Amino acid sequence: MQKFLNNLGSTYGTLRIFKRAMDVTRKAMNREPDYAKLLLQGNAYDNLGMFKEAIKYYKQAVRIDPSNGEAYCSLGNAYSRSGKFKEAVEAYKQGVRINPQDALAYYILGTTYSKLGNYQAAVATTKRAIQIRPAMSGAHKNLGIFYYMLGMYNEAKESLNQAIKIEPNNANARYNFALVCLELHDRNSALEEYKILKGLAPDVADKLSGKLQA
């Protein structure tokens, strides 16, 4: 019966029937709480947008297995989605301490630092993500944006250009590249991006048009 409850909870979680997953997994946990069940319960609450409950179960999971970075990153996600960015940073830092080759965790940590306005830290952690996974276009794009926020326009241009090389159809990268070009008084390059965006993402092109006319 115990094995049946555990397996049934996992199956429901896979099918994303979150309320049933919570009910079934809670029954299993009442008999034998462990890391996997707590993480599943946290995931179910997280997907329902019930972040306070998700955080509670993720915290229990890291207490049971403090050497597993997955729960720390899940905890960070729940904190971030509930607007608690300082707490999210601390959770992500534990995650990358345990899994120092987790490029995605560094990427998300950098994004969270930026939400706190700490662009220096955002740059450092995003560069680490790129060191681990050089072809991560989103990391290059974010790095360019963080440099832009720091007024480091040449570095921003280089990073955004790299993002475009990896992912030519990334409209957000092209838009931000154009903004950097305008800051560097390179209007011609910004106009070229506008022409590309007209075909790639007309709504983004319209947004850029307002900047070009300013």
pLDDT over 60 (residue 179)? yes
Task: Please state, in angstroms and rounded to a whole number, the distance separating the CA atoms of residues 191 and 110.
Answer: 30
Confidence of residue 20 (pLDDT cuts 50, 70, 90): low
Nearest in space to 122 (alpha carbons), one of 164, 165, 73, 89: 89
Task: Please state, in angstroms and rounded to a whole number, the distance separating the CA atoms of residues 50 and 59.
Answer: 15
Query: Is residue 55 classed exposed, middle or buried when 0-12, 13-18 and 19+ CB atoms within 10 A define those classes?
Result: buried
Q: What is the pLDDT of residues 150-159, one digit of tens each?
A: 999 999 999 9
Note down the domain range covering 66: 1-100
The DSSP secondary-structure symbol of 32 reads: -
**Sign of the CA dihedral with 47 first, then 51, 57, and 58 last:** positive
**Greatest Cα pair distance in the chain:** 70
Looking at residue 6, its pLDDT comes to 39
Same domain, 116 and 181: yes
pLDDT over 80 (residue 24)? no
Residues 105/99, Cβ–Cβ less than 8 Å? yes
Same domain, 194 and 122: yes
Same domain, 121 and 170: yes
Residue in the structure block whose two tokens are 């329902």? 48
Residues 76/91, Cβ–Cβ less than 8 Å? yes
Reading the block at residue 74, the tokens are 């899940």
Average pLDDT on 71-78 reads: 96
Looking at residue 107, its pLDDT comes to 98
Average pLDDT on 155-171 reads: 98
Selected residue with higher pLDDT from 34 and 170: 170
Q: Which of 57, 72, 100 is the last residue of a domain?
A: 100
Confidence of residue 36 (pLDDT cuts 50, 70, 90): confident
Reading the block at residue 171, the tokens are 């409209």
Q: How many domains does the chain have?
A: 2
Looking at residue 26, its pLDDT comes to 57
- Percentage of the chain exceeding pLDDT 90: 81
Reading the block at residue 66, the tokens are 């403090």
Beta strands in 2-150 (DSSP E): none
Q: Look up the CATH number of the domain holding residue 66.
A: 1.25.40.10
Beta strands in 25-139 (DSSP E): none
pTM, 2 dp: 0.84
Looking at residue 3, its pLDDT comes to 39
Task: Please state, in angstroms and rounded to a whole number, the distance separating the CA atoms of residues 2 and 32.
Answer: 9
Same domain, 37 and 121: no
How confident is the prediction for the chain on average, in pLDDT? Answer: 89
